[in-house]
Chains A and B, each alone.
Chain A
């Protein structure tokens, strides 16, 4: 079955460490996204990519970095510059709209990152 796989499900980071969250999709979607979700809050866009080797900053990109070397993969690195990284991170992908103009986002199951 097609879908998005995020790993790990839980991740603990020490102060000053960089950590990388994995996101892989086999839906053949062009666009991929990273969101941060804090308790009781909505989705805030960190980075997005619409094509391989190209990505754009979202609303809260500071302290994060991404790469898009393959269509299927869009890893997110949380750097030590991100001072408050404890949050739930969601990866999503979407296709281009179909003939009727419809499309939707598919989300991964998320990674819960905690600073220890």
Chain B
């Protein structure tokens, strides 16, 4: 039931691109993306809804493939500030709006 995130970790040089994937075996209503820096609370990045459009936030964008129940987070021209752990949270619909979280992808950006 827990979505699978890949890769588990990635190391980039500043300016390089990265893709983080989140896959579910269940049909999804929405996918949420959050970033957590070490010792801090996760911060909301974006939500992708079933039937919705691809989202973008500065150089961070995401897509949601409903047929595959998979979402991808794209980080373009990565900056040092992008370092952290990225979590996807999946909503299977229903009345409780409860997210099920992936294990996270650790992103390290080096200068």
Q: Which residues of A contact B (CB under 8 A)?
A: 31, 33, 40-43, 45, 48, 50, 88, 90, 94, 96-97, 100-110, 112
Name the residue on A nearest B99 (C-beta): A105
Which of A43, A48, A101, A109 has a CB less than 8 Å from the CB of B30? A101
Asked if B84 CB lies within 8 Å of chain A CBs, one says: no
CB–CB A107/B41 < 8 A: yes
Query: Cβ of B49: which chain A residues have Cβ within 8 Å of it?
Result: 100-102
A–B pairs, 28, beta carbons within 8 Å? A31-B97, A31-B98, A41-B104, A42-B2, A42-B101, A42-B102, A42-B104, A43-B101, A45-B98, A48-B96, A88-B39, A90-B41, A101-B49, A101-B52, A102-B47, A102-B49, A103-B47, A104-B44, A105-B32, A105-B34, A105-B99, A106-B44, A107-B42, A108-B41, A109-B41, A110-B40, A110-B41, A112-B39
CB–CB A105/B89 < 8 A: yes
Q: A42-B101, A43-B87, A97-B97 are in contact. Are A104 and B32 (CB under 8 A)?
A: yes
Asked if B103 CB lies within 8 Å of chain A CBs, one says: yes
Q: Which residues of B contact A (CB under 8 A)?
A: 2, 30, 32, 34, 39-44, 47, 49, 52, 87, 89, 96-99, 101-104, 106
CB–CB B98/A48 < 8 A: yes
Query: Cβ of A100: which chain B residues have Cβ within 8 Å of it?
Result: 49
Which of A42, A103, A110 has a CB less than 8 Å from the CB of B97? A103
